Amino acid sequence: MILYGIPNCDTVRKARKYLTEQGVDYTFHDFRKEPLAITTLEQWLKRQPIEVIVNKRSTGWKQLTEVQKEQLMQGKQLNLLSEIPTLIKRPVLDSDSHLIFGFKEAEYQALS
């Protein structure tokens, strides 16, 4: 199980705390320090729609041009997600059977 995110994000902290308290074994991937590979993003897109992946409330989203926004929402220009990781809803929990964007305790409990 891999938890992707940014360490100083409050929602990521909540998810990490929850997983640790539940004794869940996971690896943390800081996608600011280690940008995501395009292949990882393509795999995510096969498992979740782009609307679930992209954080339209982020500063990164607001700084994109209309053309970039349109292309990204069509599943093109995935490199933007790697270059501007705040465009991705955080945290991302990737297990064999689930790919969850954001943190809702009930969804994490369902994994147990």
Q: What is the pLDDT of residue 1?
A: 94
Q: Which stretches of the chain drop beneath a pLDDT of 50?
A: none
Q: What is the pLDDT of residue 18?
A: 97
Tokens of 42: 């393509």
pTM of the model: 0.92
Of the listed 5, 7, 9, 47, which one is catalytic? 9
Is residue 100 part of the annotated active site? The answer reads no
Domain 2-109 has CATH 3.40.30.10: yes
Q: What confidence score (pLDDT) does residue 97 get?
A: 87
DSSP states along 37-79: PHHHHHHHHHHS-HHHHB-TTSHHHHHS-HHHHHHHHTT--TH
In angstroms, the CA 45 to CA 39 distance is 10
Q: Which two tokens stand for residue 59?
A: 């500063």
Closest by Cα among 68, 90, 89 to 79: 68
